[in-house]
């Protein structure tokens, strides 16, 4: 049993907020459907940090601040990466042979396992190929 239905990854947030992103329209539609269906969404502090950084690089601080306001609104629970989750993330990271492995992605896998979250809202194939996680769509 879990308290959450879907973990949201950085690329989904970037798609939702950055209008020029290739996934913008699809990301918005998926998120709106989650809201309509009252899906129990969650993200992590690592994802928030990564998303704000990417949005700032792509479009500047105003968009990054807008995202941070959204994240701080209290409508989206945030799981903070503890030392235990950090260790699990590092174990996943260090056992990967892919040179472009992301620690944030590995932390998402660790969080999903720890909290028994059944699906991830992401466009990143890493989750589905390497870890056989379920795509939320």
Asked whether residue 105 is domain-assigned, the answer is yes
Separation of alpha carbons 69 and 83, rounded Å: 26
In a domain, 135, yes or no: no
The CATH number covering residue 116 comes to 3.40.50.1010
Q: Mind listing the pLDDT tens digit for each residue in 63-74?
A: 999 999 999 998
Domain containing 35 equals 6-129
Q: What number of other Cβ atoms are within 10 A of residue 3's Cβ?
A: 10
Q: What is the pLDDT of residues 1-45, one digit of tens each?
A: 579 999 999 999 999 999 999 999 999 999 999 999 999 999 999
Global pTM reads 0.91
Domain count, the chain: 1
Beta-sheet strands, E only, within 9-133 = 41-44, 78-79, 119-121
Q: 20-24 long-range CB contacts below 8 Å, 24 or more apart?
A: 20/58, 20/59, 21/58, 23/123
Rounded CA-CA distance 19/38 in Å is 25
């Amino acid at each position: 049993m879990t308290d959450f239905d879907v973990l949201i990854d950085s690329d989904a947030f970037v798609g939702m907020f950055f209008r020029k992103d290739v996934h913008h329209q699809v990301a918005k539609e998926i998120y709106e459907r989650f809201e309509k269906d009252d899906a129990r969404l969650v993200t992590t502090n690592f994802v928030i940090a990564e998303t704000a950084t990417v949005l700032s690089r792509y479009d500047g601080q105003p968009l990054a601040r807008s995202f941070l306001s959204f994240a701080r609104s209290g409508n989206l629970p945030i799981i903070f990466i503890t030392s235990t989750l950090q260790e699990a993330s590092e174990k996943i990271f260090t056992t990967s042979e892919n040179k472009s492995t992301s620690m944030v992605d590995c932390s998402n896998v660790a969080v999903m396992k720890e909290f028994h979250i059944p699906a991830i809202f992401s466009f990143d194939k890493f989750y589905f190929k390497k870890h056989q996680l379920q795509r939320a769509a």
